[in-house]
Structure 1
């Protein structure tokens, strides 16, 4: 009876696991969507001036929103997607808007985390999967399935999801959608890259069969760089800041919804300062004094930038590597500022020539390969991207992360003493490196001069085997390091003395 009961329980439990995962994709409650849309929003809309060129209904609906809608509702099949864009540009907001439009029917979403144990729990919550932790199969002497670690637990969850997707696809005739948000939070090491590969392999096979569409969002460039190597069905969508006119309309709209006064000249000035970043626009538009808030944000950004890559003119050798990174970073930012000045000059010339006024001037961009040449180091760009100082798009164009970063860099670079400061820092780095090389050469020459003593003073060293060993040490040390040469000479002289005995 116990044996039969165990078989029935295991069969029922496995079926119940699949039923619970299927409930996670039904229309209605979704944990991520419920949390994102919990604050109630007013549905009353104020009217915008009649001379407004942009329809107020499109104040926050981006051009990419239509494609996001088709991806989330399952209309775009045969691919999986990577949404690449800087922090606060609106990637998550567009996904939540698309999920809300269909009541999260067939969609699940979870956030990435550096700790794979934490991510395992988040994925289980999104899929309504307990990883057999609620199972009572231990009564039947079955082994605990959690002994393999988080990677195997995630693989088991994906196996269950695949079974559910096949079962639901026969009824829905469109794929389920699983969103992995902020995959740049995974560590850029072997374990983090392995998790990305694990999901990407599933994404490739599921996209080919049309049962599940995976969507990855990232602020940083490195996940795309890792996934690009084996991504045959991967499509990348770059999300950037709003254009100038779109940012003006969005700020007016938010300002009216908040019951604040709208002053077009002030809004124009503020948008020119903070740019088209949605998170910045939302923060400034709700402030009582928009100009003061924009200036405070710029001051904070400037102080933060200097805290990350500030230059130290007379630095000690302990911070040489950090100053090397900082000076190379300022070489790149200096080029961005130079390009910005050229853009503004060209823009002013067009206005003076009578061409139509167009306030939007894009952030300056430099090709990735050119940035490597400017910085003279290929490994510094990734860290700048991780710290949100620069942003890299799918076309390998590098830009300042935001308009605030560009203005903060302008304040530093336009200082008359900046060029002298960066030159002195780079000269100091050269001095320290030269000093290190000189010390190494002096030590090596001193060690090499010791074996020459028996030949310069033969009366003090009468033993021929010792002089031969010193000669051998000189020859070996010319092609090996000193410890290797000493060990080799010691072995050689021991063998020579043994033969003499």
Structure 2
């Protein structure tokens, strides 16, 4: 509303104020407003403003009556464009949804195809594990195979796919050369149809390593995740392992239909899986797939472990599993291997007496022989290895004697049981007729597993001893020292002056602490004025045995007064 030529209302007479107020009010009303009498309200500006409403066309014809052709034509002219736009919008929406669905379906089919293609590529020649081990295209940088073992031919047959219908468990002490033989067999076939990775105690890390070996991303690279808000993981690690094995199974089935040999999956360091509920579930999952795949010649699973508990767990449900024990080298092979490796490194072949002395100190463990062959002073390195093994055993299992505190009783139970078993092995060695063969070398004393538990009076400690490489349990469930240097450490410790008394004092102290824990103190009070307590003892059948009476003893001064 404009304010031009507005005269204040207080300067107008009462007759002049009414028309002005009506005009102002009329301008504020909508155009459809009418007076009570049905007459339209006329608009007039305050100062000659034009009427904003369109003026009626004096030449326009009146609306046709209802029901005739003119009405229908007017209806079509009015609603036809609207219906066409509605149909156009619906068709556009339907086409957009159809195209989006087609693109999504096509991408899903393409993604699934690429997943299987990537897994198939993972089994082509050239496994990443060979590259990590230093076996690449450059032969000068590859590891030289300097010792031939009797187990190598059988492992070659497994890795090449000739030995089918079983899955295999390699078990042996740390450093015996299990992984080296597997890598050597993979090198001979160029890694064709083979995938190898290391196990881990954490299931999340295990699934990542499995995905890397199979080149499987667990659908984490799927673009469909961009259209939803979700957390980092939608499934457990064990379920992801199952999904990866399902995809691998499809690839193996396709290869078998094409006439290819079974694929090989090698899981190294199986002993690193924790012996808990999650670890046992993982072992059960792997074993189920291994049993099914080897029965249908889809794939061969090879497991490598340093500890006996993996075999003990798998044996419960094994029907097609074969066990391959890997032991230390015999004396003649160990000396030959050491001489060859030393000659390759230094160009000099050690004399026979030096080689024999080295074997007498460290035995036929490949890990020890490799370290000795690289050293400048080989005999000093042998002594260093023996000293380290002895120190390791003492740090883990030394006993504290009669003066030990109550708080260390649990640890001392663990340590004293190991010392008792070590002493039993030393005594067993003294009773053996043959402990050293000129051609085979050392024959370490062994005790059956059930007898070892009886000697220790504990059944749960032996598994942890195997894990820390103090004692070992072989494939025949026989307990012995983990290595020749460890057996030498047992001899030195048990032959120390006063060791038997020290061990006996420790065991007595443990028994005393346990006895105190089982003892209950009974306090009797309120025995004044000749008060007394009477306690009756009954047998298990309820028969009375004796009565014990507690009363206050008379003091000497009371007797003198009487």
Fold match (TM-score > 0.5):
yes
SS in 2 for 1:177: strand
Question: Paired residue for 1:388?
Answer: 469
CA distance 1:347–1:145, change in 2 (3 Å): closer
- Whether the aligned pair in 1 keeps the contact of 2:330 and 2:439 (CA below 8 Å) is no
1:23 aligns with 2:110: no
TM-score, normalised to structure 1, is 0.81
Q: How much does 1:294 deviate?
A: 0.6
1:403 aligns with 2:484: yes
Question: Paired residue for 1:323?
Answer: 412
Q: Which runs of structure 2 are paired with 1:400-439 in the superposition (5 Å)?
A: 400-438=481-519
Question: Paired residue for 1:283?
Answer: 371
The superposition leaves residues 33-57 of structure 1 with CA deviations (integer Å, 9 ceiling, x where unpaired) of 111124877699xxxxxxxxxxxx9
Question: Paired residue for 1:336?
Answer: 425
Question: Paired residue for 2:216?
Answer: 129
Question: Paired residue for 1:196?
Answer: 283
SS in 2 for 1:229: coil
1:120 aligns with 2:207: yes
CA distance 1:451–1:63, change in 2 (3 Å): farther
| Alignment counterpart, residue 219 of structure 1, candidates 306, 325, 336 | 306
SS in 1 for 2:124: coil
- Taking the aligned partners of 2:435 and 2:456, their CA distance within structure 1 comes to 28
- Taking the aligned partners of 2:100 and 2:227, their CA distance within structure 1 comes to 8
Question: Paired residue for 2:107?
Answer: 9
Q: How much does 1:375 deviate?
A: 0.9
Question: Paired residue for 1:498?
Answer: none
The superposition leaves residues 233-261 of structure 1 with CA deviations (integer Å, 9 ceiling, x where unpaired) of 11111111111111101100110011153
The superposition leaves residues 421-440 of structure 1 with CA deviations (integer Å, 9 ceiling, x where unpaired) of 111111111111122222xx
Q: How much does 1:7 deviate?
A: 0.4
| Alignment counterpart, residue 60 of structure 1, candidates 147, 171, 175 | 147
- Whether the aligned pair in 2 keeps the contact of 1:108 and 1:127 (CA below 8 Å) is yes
- Taking the aligned partners of 2:169 and 2:282, their CA distance within structure 1 comes to 15
More helix by share: 1
Q: How much does 1:361 deviate?
A: 2.4
SS in 1 for 2:148: coil
SS in 2 for 1:105: coil
Q: How much does 1:347 deviate?
A: 5.9
SS in 1 for 2:315: helix
- Whether the aligned pair in 2 keeps the contact of 1:112 and 1:119 (CA below 8 Å) is yes
1:83 aligns with 2:164: no
TM-score, normalised to structure 2, is 0.72
Q: How much does 1:13 deviate?
A: 0.5
- Whether the aligned pair in 2 keeps the contact of 1:59 and 1:246 (CA below 8 Å) is no
CA distance 1:144–1:25, change in 2 (3 Å): farther
- Whether the aligned pair in 1 keeps the contact of 2:330 and 2:440 (CA below 8 Å) is no
- Whether the aligned pair in 1 keeps the contact of 2:169 and 2:322 (CA below 8 Å) is yes
1:361 aligns with 2:442: yes
Q: How much does 1:144 deviate?
A: 7.9
Question: Paired residue for 2:354?
Answer: 266
- Taking the aligned partners of 1:229 and 1:281, their CA distance within structure 2 comes to 36
Any gaps of 5 or more consecutive residues in structure 1? 45-56, 349-355, 458-501
- Taking the aligned partners of 1:3 and 1:217, their CA distance within structure 2 comes to 47
How many residue pairs are counted as aligned between the two chains? 429
1:173 aligns with 2:260: yes
Question: Paired residue for 1:36?
Answer: 133
Q: How much does 1:138 deviate?
A: 2.6
Q: How much does 1:172 deviate?
A: 4.0
Question: Paired residue for 1:471?
Answer: none
- Taking the aligned partners of 2:200 and 2:120, their CA distance within structure 1 comes to 24
SS in 2 for 1:2: helix
- Whether the aligned pair in 2 keeps the contact of 1:254 and 1:285 (CA below 8 Å) is yes
- Taking the aligned partners of 1:160 and 1:58, their CA distance within structure 2 comes to 35
SS in 2 for 1:236: strand
Larger-Rg structure: 2
- Taking the aligned partners of 1:170 and 1:301, their CA distance within structure 2 comes to 53
| Alignment counterpart, residue 292 of structure 1, candidates 370, 377, 380 | 380
Q: How much does 1:358 deviate?
A: 4.0
Question: Paired residue for 1:309?
Answer: 397
CA distance 1:38–1:174, change in 2 (3 Å): closer
- Whether the aligned pair in 2 keeps the contact of 1:169 and 1:211 (CA below 8 Å) is yes
Q: How much does 1:85 deviate?
A: 0.6
**Mean Cα deviation higher: 187-196 or 144-153:** 144-153
CA distance 1:451–1:225, change in 2 (3 Å): farther
Any gaps of 5 or more consecutive residues in structure 2? 1-98, 533-562
Q: How much does 1:364 deviate?
A: 1.5
